[in-house]
Each structure stands twice: as C-alpha cells, then as structure tokens.
Structure 1
Amino acid sequence: MSLQFDQPCTVGIGQTASIKEEMAFLEMELDDAVRAMELAQLRVAQLTKELELRRSLLAPIRRLNVDVLSSIFLCAAETDEMTPLRIGLVCRYWRTVILNIPRAWRFVDAKHNNRGICEIYHERSKQCKLHATGGQNWMEFLGVVGRRLCCLTIPVIMFNVILPMLTHLCLSSPSEDFMPPANLSNLTPYAFPVLKHLELHIGSYFAWIPRDLPPLRTLTVTVYDAQGWPTIISKCASSLKSLTITVKTYIESPVLVDTNLPNLTYLKISGPYESGNHGYLRLLTPSLTTYLEGDEYDPPAIVHYDSLDSIKHARFYRIPPFQTPTQLRTVQLTLELEEYDQFLDTFARNNMILPHLEFLEFQHGWMSSAEIAEARRILQAWDWTVFERLVHPPRLTQRWTVDLRAEDPPLCGENLPCTRWRLP
C-alpha cells in the first residue's frame, strides 16, 4: 500500500520565510493574549475585593450605631475582663468606640500580676469604680487601683491595707489544703468603712479577729473547723441580712454558742452530719423568711436554730420538721422514694400545716428512671385541690424551677452582681 499526498512535502525558500513571519505574528498575538488574560485576572481579583468590601459595608454589624455597639461591648467586658483589649484590635472604628466606654475597663484581672495591664485599665476606666481579682502578688497592683476598688477577690489575707470604697471582699485559699491561721486583724471599720459583703473561703481557722467588724449585710463562710467563724458571725450579727455557712469538718469538743440575728432574712447552711454532735452555734432568727439546707441527706447538726415558724420559702433534703401551721409559700424537697408516702401522709392530707402553700417541688436527684416514674405516679395520685393557693400540682424536676436567693443579693458598683468574681 503506497501513501499519496495532495501537496508535495518540500517547501521552498520563499515559503519558509513566509511561514516564519506568520509564526512570529502568532507568537506576538499569543503574548498579547496572555498579557490581556493576566490583566483580566488582576482586574477580576480587584473587582472581587472591591465587591467584598462593599458587601462588608452592608453587613448588619456595620449598621449598628455607637450606642448599640457600646452596649454590646459593655456586656462582653462583664463576661471576660480581657475582652476590651481584644475588641481594640479588630479595627480602628471599634478601637475608638471601646476607648470611649470607661465602664468597659472597670474589670481588672490581676491574677497574672501584670502591672502594665492594671495601669491601662486604671487609666481607661476614668473615674469608674473597679472590680479586681488578684493572684499571690496582688499587693503589687493595689497601689495602682486600690483607691477606686469596690469589689476585690484575693487568695490571701490583707495586712495594713485601707480600701475606702470597697463594698465586696472575697478572701479565698488557693486550694483546700490546710493553710496557716487566717489573720483578720486588719478587717476593721477604719480600714473598710463601706464594706457590706464579705466572703471567706479559707482552708484554715480564723485568728486575730478584730474587736469590731464593718456592718456587713451579707456573709458567706466556707471553713474546715469551728475555730473563729462563730465569733465573726456574732460581731456582725446586728446588721446581717444574709448568711451562708458551709462547714467541712467538726472539732471534737464543740461549745454551744447562742447568737441573735434580729435582721437576718436569708439563711443557707450545710455541713457533714454526725449523730453524736449537738452543734456549737444556735442561731436566733426572728425575721427569717428564706431557709435552705445543703445537699446532705440528714439534717445538718452543725447549726441549731430556735424556730422556722417565720419562713416563707424553704429547701430541705429530708422530710420537713414542721408539726404546727407554717407561713410557707414555697417548699422544695429532695427525698428518697420510700419517703414520698410518709411525706404525703403527714402534709398532703390537709392544709393545716401548709395553709399558704403556693409552690411544691421535688427534685429527683440521684433516682433511677424507674424510681422517678414511681414518684411521679405517687404525686399524681393525690388530690391537691385542698391547697387553695397552690399554683399548679407539685412538680418532679431535675433542677429547681423556683430560684430561692437572698432578698438582698450582694451588689457592688452600679448594681453589678459580684457572683462572677471568684478564684478559678
């Protein structure tokens, strides 16, 4: 089989020159096209960037005015004290806004002993009252922010310190390990003239308690034996409205002490139960309205009280001890399954003991699914219409739906609750 060609394979000299010219022209056009494509790609990238910029200008957050942004930044600062610094790094506009919100800079985190940050917050907060948490070397930043402190959480006891604007003080051990005796000698009305709320979470006993304490409204103590803290309660008893006591351990030979708390309206107590212990503090609380027991199954023997007849809201981890008519409006209970019938036989047959009952809640806690179902069946089988003021039939719940808190919660500067200022 032979091959045949329509045109000869040979190219003359004139044709060769012509082809080379055409190739050069095509290469030039190709180069122009490549350059045009590169320019087009650059233009596409430029247009895309400009389009994204225009779209970002239409983002919802761009439409927020300064007042709305200020409110958001202020809430964020209350959640995390380092937020104002981070906000200032986002853009120039946000930095301008955050720098003009002195209240956002009033939360000082000095746990890491960074004096520079303390000075920044002190300067940018203008004349706002300050809230601070400090580490082991907290005294180093006190010279910077001390005169404007209204809320302070520190891990050690203070010596020779005067804080004229402090209203809330939390002293807490860095761990639950036993610590040296806590020296409270400087906790005087002279050094803390406006202190109203005191929290003591110390892994030790209290010593060197001053003769006079500031007129406290709320006191919270978490301690590991009985030495010292009953004296603290007695020294501020006349002014206390809220008292929370958590005792981790007992002493072997308690001494019974009577303490009159004429204005106390809120009492929460918890501590280990020992049947052979008769308690060493008896609280007389004629104005008490809210009483809560800790999460122990047995009644806490650590504190004795004269009467609960005046209370309107109560929480028990046992069958309540009432035998006569009460003023109770809210009752919260955590019971064993076998105690439900006993409780109902005592309290639910009539309204003689609980004539003012409005809310009754049971927390199922550690119950199994079968026990929860049985407890719910028991409660549903009873006729609760005898309680005329009951808002709804009793609830069996995992978490309390009615919040029993102090009527006078601890607030400091500008009505901020100081519940978040705790050591990690």
Structure 2
Amino acid sequence: MHIMIELPRLTGSKCRLPCLKTLEILNSTADATWPVELETPALETYVVRRHVGNIRVFHKDVGTVKHLRINAAVQLSDFPMLQVLQLEQGVETTAILSQLELREDLCPELWCIEQINHLNINKSATHSRMLSSRSIQLLGVEELRGLEGVFSDLGEMLKIPLKFTHVKEAIKKTEELLANALRILEQAQRIVTCLQTDLAERRTALCPEQRLNMDVLALIFESCAQENPLTLLTIARVSRRWRTTVLSMPKAWSHLPLEASIHPRALQLFVDRSHPLPIHVVHPYVPAEVLLELDGIADRLHCASLSKCVSHSLPARFPQLERLFIGDKSFVYREDLNSSRFPRLRHFVYDSELMPSVFACGSPSQLPPLETLSVHITVRPEWHLLLDGCKDTLVSLRIHATMRISLTERKYQLPHLKTLEICNTNGGTWALKLESPVLETYIVQSDSNTSLHTDLGTVKHLRTNSTPQLHNYPMLQVLQLEGEADVFDVISQLGTYGICFDLERIEQRCSARTIDPDEVTSRLEAITSRPVRYSAVNEFSYLGVLLDSEIGQ
C-alpha cells in the first residue's frame, strides 16, 4: 500500500494502517502542522519533504522504517532498523556522520548513505574510519534513484555506451553494488545457519533420550565405559548435551582401553579426563612400557594388568595401586615387591611361570599385607616366599601347578582364609599342608584322586572335578560337579550316611555323558526328606571366587 499526502489538506484524525509499507509526505508551507496521527506497524519506506522553515515532526511511528529519504536534518535514533538513507540537497552530511560516530549502536543495519549533488564528499579521517569499520557506503550522486532502485537491475547499467569514461563509471557502480549484495548475502547466510542449528536442536528435543536426566545418562555412560571404554569417544560426538555430560564424568574415563591399535595420545586423553580419580587398566595383558609412558599414571593407578615387564624398570612408587596382575614373560624381584613401593596393594596375581632366583632376597615382612594371592607353582622353590609374607592376612588363595615337581612338605596356618582354589595338573605329589579354620569356598581341579587339602570342616561351597567324599564336608550347602564327578555316587553317599544336612543345591556342568535331570531329582527325593535342587548347567553360578578375569574389576 502506498500513500502520498500533501499538506495542508487534512483535518485532524487518527487512523491505523496495518498494511502500509510506503509513506510519502510533501509540505510546501512554513506553518503547516501534521493533523493526522497514523499507526503504521509495517512501514518500511518513508519519504518526507518539508518546507525549509518547518521543523515539526509529521510522523512518529517510524520504528520499522528501513528506507528513508529526507530533505532536512533527521534524528537517526528514531529509525533503529534503517538500512538505506537518501539525503536531498541542503542536508548536512557531517551532522549525520557525527551522530553515527557518537553512538556505535545507532542504526546497526545501515549500509548505504546517498546524497545529491555531492560527487566529492569531504569526510574527516575519523568519519572515514567509522564508515569503514561499520561497512557503510557513502555515495554522492547526481540524482537520487527510486528507493526500489537501490538494487536496480544491472542489465540497465550495462546498456551505457561503451565509451571509456562511461565504462569506468559502470565498473565502479557495479563493484559497489556487488559489495553491498555480498554483505547482505553474508548476513542472510548467518541467519540461515542459525535457523538450521535451532531447528536441529528443536527436533532433537523430541528424541526419547532427551527425557532422561543427567544422572540417568551418567549411569548409562559409566556402564558403557566398563564394557568398552572406547565407546566414550563415540558418545562425546553424538550431541552437545551428551558431550557435556560425559566430559563431566571423570569416573567413566578412569578405565583405560589398552588395545594394540589405540594411539598413545588417546590413552593420555583418558588419563587427563579422569583426573584426579584412580585409574583402572582393563586389558588383561598390557606391555608395561605402553602403560607406564603415560604422564602421571603411576600415582593414580588403582588396578593394573601388566605383561612383559621387569620389576626393576617400574616406577619407584605406586601409592594408589590395590590390584596388580602380572602376566606372561615377566620377572618380579622380591626386593621390588614391598610395602614402601606398594603401600595399598591388597590383591596380587602372579601368572608368569618365570620366577627369578633373586626373588628369595629380602625379609617376608617387607611384603604388603595381601588379601588375595594367585600364583603359579614353578620348578623353583622361591614361590612359597610369597605365601610366607602374607599368610596372616590372606582371604583368597589360588595355587596353580602345571609342572611335575616334588617339594619338601610345608605347613601354613591361614587364620583368615575364606576362599581356596587349587589346580594341580602336574601329576606330582602335593606337599603343601594348609590350616584354614574359617574356609568357606573350596575349588579343586586335580588329575589324581589324592586329597590336596584336608581342613574342610567349615566348607559351604565346593566345586570339584572328581567325586567328593561328603563326610569331609559336614557344613556343605552348594556342590558343583564337573569332569568325571559322578552325581549318582554323591546321591548314594547322601542316602547311606545321612550327611550334609545343610545341602541345598547340586549343579553339574554338561559333559559328553548325558544325564537325565528328572532321574537325578527322583533319586534325591527318594533318599532324603529335605529339598535338594539339582540342575544341569553350561556355566556354574558364581561362588564369590576371585578369578583371573576379575582382578581388574
């Protein structure tokens, strides 16, 4: 809608023009007043020509004006959205520039000022710098174009006769228009990018995971880290919210993904993001040099699995280490395994069959007060010094003998031992005598029928690969059979001697020999009045025994 009003021809009134976009006012007398109060919420183009002696403001609702043409002084603060300003003859350009210089936030979208009959506009150095910093074009023209022609068709301009002076002028004008068009295009591109980002975030808000609070997400991410720590790197790339959450969880980053293909920088990233919490090494066999090259890791290791290491090459102290798994091809010297170097070490698995002769050096009292010990019996006798040094504090003991050896008989009293696992596949004699007054869980694997441990009166959980003599287990509650163990022989013992009154469950791992569970159950019901549950399983239920795979948990 376009309105052109010539004063004085109107009577006083109020009017709202909701769709008006262009307003032009002509005033030809010095004493004319503005009798109409207009509301123009959509006004974009405003042209006003006042008599030289009239200083009254004719229209006040100019907050949305983008294009202004005027023949008198103007207060730019009334036009916050102004983009193009056209000044007719008689308007002082210096006054306009001074307003822009005084207030940097004035007309932030203004990019073009045109003035008639000022082909060579004199600007101060300060004004020039201000115009350059705000990317405002100041143009002197012979004739003001129509406001719709600020971005006129370049094809019309290129119709200028190809004279040298005209071509230079056309090039200059085209360059100016191109610079302005590129500026507007850049602004539009920024707006499009912001809108696309906002739209993506709003669509993401509809995802089910957005309904989860930060605490629930943290629990899920910690669980993922324990299964595979490398998933944290993927989680951190999903969304801004997930990245913020996972980076605020040092506990999740405390499990190091020590794999052959991982870069040392990625390992250092886990070390840094888990600060200051203790670090857990979850890979069962890690070359020591790969792990210990990381900055600051020795002071924060909580549990570690190392292979191909020599104890002399390890750092001087591990103040936080509680669980240590020594893998294949490693040498641990007795003088290096002491309380000053490992003050908090409580669980130690020595899975290497190599044991240096100098392990015998040192006093047993130098060992940390171990609660868990797992060791290979080797051809050398020095291994028993480990047991000498921690027999008074041991809670779990695992002994694995894979070589045919004959040892001098040794006796040990283990007053706190609750879990004992013995694996004797060497066929040799067993000369180790243990006293275990509070033993509850006993696991035995043997190639011979000889008894490897005799202090069994307190055992509640038994796992064996041979048929046990039940009269040795008066407090037995759970019996797990595998290998050549005969469940029917067990049932016969229960019926003949009336023993194991606390027995609740018998489990048998599936083997090549097929056993009918219904037949076993019916025989149990026939010989005893108490309920004893029988089940054939692929994997035994957990007995609370420390296994190799659990040392890092």
TM bucket (normalised to shorter chain) is 0.7 to 0.9
Asked whether the 8 Å contact 2:417–2:439 carries over to 1, the reply is yes
| 1:135 maps to 2:287 | yes
Q: How far off its partner does 1:348 sit?
A: 2.8
Structure 1 residue 242 displacement after superposition:
0.4
Summarize the alignment of residues 15-164 of structure 1 with structure 2, pairs less than 5 Å apart: 56-110=204-258, 112=260, 114-132=263-281, 134-138=286-290, 140-141=292-293, 143-155=295-307, 156-159=309-312, 161-164=316-319
- The answer (yes or no) to whether the contact 1:170–1:199 under 8 Å persists in 2 is yes
Q: 2:489 is aligned with what amino acid?
A: Q
Q: Residues 82 and 223 from structure 1, CA distance in 2 versus in 1: closer, same or farther, beyond 3 angstroms?
A: farther
- Output one character per residue of 1:279-311: Cα deviation in whole Å (capped at 9) or x when no partner: 1322221211110113x564477xx32421111
Counterpart CA distance in 2 for 1:389 and 1:226 is: 49
- CA 1:107–1:380 in structure 2 vs 1: closer, same or farther (change >3 Å)? closer
Partner of 2:87: none
Q: CA deviation at 1:266?
A: 0.4
2:420 to 248, 267, 287: 267
Q: Does 1:372 align with 2:515?
A: yes
The 1-side partners of 2:252 and 2:205 are apart by: 26
The CA deviation string for residues 149-170 of structure 1, in whole angstroms up to 9 with x for no partner, is 1111111232252111111111
Asked if the contact 1:240/1:264 (under 8 Å) is kept, the reply is yes
1:356 to 502, 506, 512: 502
Does 1:202 pair with 2:362?
no
Q: Residues 256, 168 of structure 1: CA spacing in aligned structure 2 closer, same or farther, 3 A cutoff?
A: same
Structure 2 CA distance, aligned partners of 1:152 and 1:71?
23
Aligned AA (1:167): E
Q: Deviations over 1:342-372 (max 9, x none)?
A: 3332223452x212211122233232xxx32
Give, in angstroms, the shift of residue 103 of structure 1: 1.0
Q: CA deviation at 1:83?
A: 2.2
State whether structure 2 residue 326 is matched by structure 1 residue 171. yes
Residues 273 and 299 in structure 1, CA contact (< 8 A), matched pair in contact too: no
- Report the alpha carbon displacement of residue 104 of structure 1 after superposing the two structures with TM: 1.4
With a CA cutoff of 8 Å and minimum separation of 6, indicate the structure with the bigger relative contact order.
1
Inter-CA distance 340–94: structure 2 relative to 1 (3 Å threshold): closer
Distance 2:340 2:368 in 1: 8
Asked whether the 8 Å contact 1:119–1:144 carries over to 2, the reply is no
Shift in Å, 1:93: 2.5
Taking a change above 3 Å as real, the CA distance of residues 89 and 200 of structure 1, as seen in their structure-2 partners, is same
**Which residues in structure 2 correspond to 1:277-288 (within 5 Å)?**
277-288=428-439
Alignment coverage as a number of residue pairs: 348
Deviation at 1:205, TM superposition (A): 2.8
Of 330, 333, 336, which aligns to 1:183? Answer: 333
Q: 1:419 is matched by which residue type in structure 2?
A: E
Q: Deviations over 1:213-246 (max 9, x none)?
A: 1000111224554532222112111100001122
SS at match of 1:228: helix
277-286 or 134-143, larger mean C-alpha shift: 134-143
Q: Match of 2:544?
A: 405
CA 1:326–1:283 in structure 2 vs 1: closer, same or farther (change >3 Å)? same
8 Å contact from structure 1 (residues 289, 311) kept in 2: yes
Could you tell me whether the CA contact under 8 Å between 2:311 and 2:332 is conserved in 1? no
Q: Label 1:151 to 1:340 Cα distance change in 2 as closer, same or farther (>3 A).
A: closer
Partners of 1:92 and 1:317 in 2: how far apart? 55
| Counterpart contact for 1:201–1:221, Cα < 8 Å | yes
Structure 1, residues 238-295: CA drift from partner, whole Å, max 9, x if none?
Answer: 10000112222122x4222112111101001112152xx321322221211110113x
RMSD: 3.2
Would the aligned equivalents of 1:206 and 1:229 in 2 still touch at CA under 8 Å? no
Distance in 2 (CA, whole Å) between partners of 1:324 and 1:98 is 54
Q: Residues 184, 389 of structure 1: CA spacing in aligned structure 2 closer, same or farther, 3 A cutoff?
A: farther
Q: Secondary structure in 2 aligned to 1:288?
A: coil
**1:335–1:362 Cα contact (<8 Å) kept:** no
Secondary structure at the aligned position of 1:215 is classed as: coil
Contact 2:456 / 2:472 at 8 angstroms: preserved in 1? no
CA distance in 1, matches of 2:421, 2:224: 32
Alpha-carbon distance between aligned partners in 2 of 1:93 and 1:336, rounded to the nearest angstrom = 57
**Structure 1 residues 382 and 60: alpha-carbon distance in aligned structure 2, compared to 1, 3 A threshold:** same
Question: How far is the alpha carbon of 1:420 from its aligned partner?
Answer: 6.9
Q: Tell me which moved more, 106-115 or 63-72.
A: 106-115
Match runs of 1:290-301 below 5 Å: 290-294=441-445, 296=446, 298-299=448-449
Q: Are the structure 2 counterparts of residues 388 and 164 from structure 1 closer, same or farther at C-alpha, using a change threshold of 3 Å?
A: farther
Q: Which residue of 2 aligns with 1:393?
A: 533
Relative to 1, partners in 2 of residues 1:323 and 1:75: Cα closer, same or farther, differing over 3 Å? closer
Greater C-alpha radius of gyration: 2
- Residue 5 of structure 1 is matched in structure 2 by none
Separation (CA, whole Å) in 2 of partners of 1:336 and 1:419: 27
How big is the shift at 1:198? 0.6
Deviations 1:53-99 (A, max 9, x none): 86543121222222222221111112112222222222333222211
